[in-house]
Amino acid sequence: MQVGDNPAVHNISMSCTPSVCFGASKQLFTYQLAIIAALIIWRLGKRFGEPIPFYEEIEREENEHIKALANLYQKSRAAEYVLTNNRERFIKGCSRAFHVSEPYARDNLYMLWRESSLPHSELLAKIMEADARLTAKQLKQVVKNIQTCEKALRLKGEKYAGRLHTIGDTSH
């Protein structure tokens, strides 16, 4: 039996006329060509830049880091750190304001304060005498005293600009 004599092959070849067989292949070719063109355009296409991820903006308070540190000190019951940090910062600011070294300012702060005719010398004495065995209420009072003295020093510095520097001035 020859290939042409097989009726099954003859039926298949008869059902695939040139218009039907080539029409289907043209349509398939068109689809493939469209997919390839879309992939090339997508691959070679330029973007305006890298995609920017969207981050939700979190609004924070100005003194959030101070509150966090205070919370940490409170939970660890580290009142001596609060007292030491505030007092050392105050002494450092005073040493800059009075143009003296920090050790000299620490040892002679009361004398320097009185010579400059600054108010609140009684608060200054309480600040320097405070020790680490304070209650939370006493510690708050010492910190308020430090802030009051810093304000007096800052106001004196503004009044006599040039003779005294402010505590926040880091240029010296």
At 134-158, the pLDDT tens digits run 787 888 888 888 888 888 888 877 6
Residue 28 and residue 103 in one domain: no
Position 113 in a domain: yes
* Residue range 17-44: mean pLDDT, rounded: 80
77 lies in a domain? yes
For residue 68, pLDDT beyond 60: yes
pLDDT at 164: 45
Domain coverage including residue 38: 7-44
Residue 87's nearest CA partner among 115, 123, 54, 40 is 123
Residue of higher predicted confidence among 72 and 169: 72
Does 30 have pLDDT greater than 60? yes
Distance of CA 147 to the CA centre of its chain: 27
Angle at 158 between CA 108 and CA 63, to 5 degrees: 85
Average pLDDT over residues 76-98: 85
Long-range interactions of 51-54: CB distance < 8 A, separation 24+: none
- 126 in a domain, yes or no? yes
For residue 166, tell me if it sits in a domain: no
Residues 103 and 150 in one domain: yes
| Mean pLDDT rounded to a whole number for the chain | 76
Residue 59 binned pLDDT confidence (cut-offs 50, 70, 90): confident
Is the same domain home to 68 and 145?
Answer: yes
CB 81 within 8 A of CB 73: yes
Indicate whether 166 pLDDT > 50: no
**Predicted structure pTM score:** 0.51
Domain count, the chain: 2
Tokens 């099954």 locate to 8
Residue type, 21: C
Is 55 part of a structural domain of the chain?
no
Half-sphere exposure of 31 (CA within 13 A, CB side): 6
Residue 122 is assigned to a structural domain of this protein: yes
Instruction: With respect to residue 59, please indicate whether it lies within any of the assigned structural domains.
Output: no
- In this prediction, residue 12 carries a pLDDT of 52
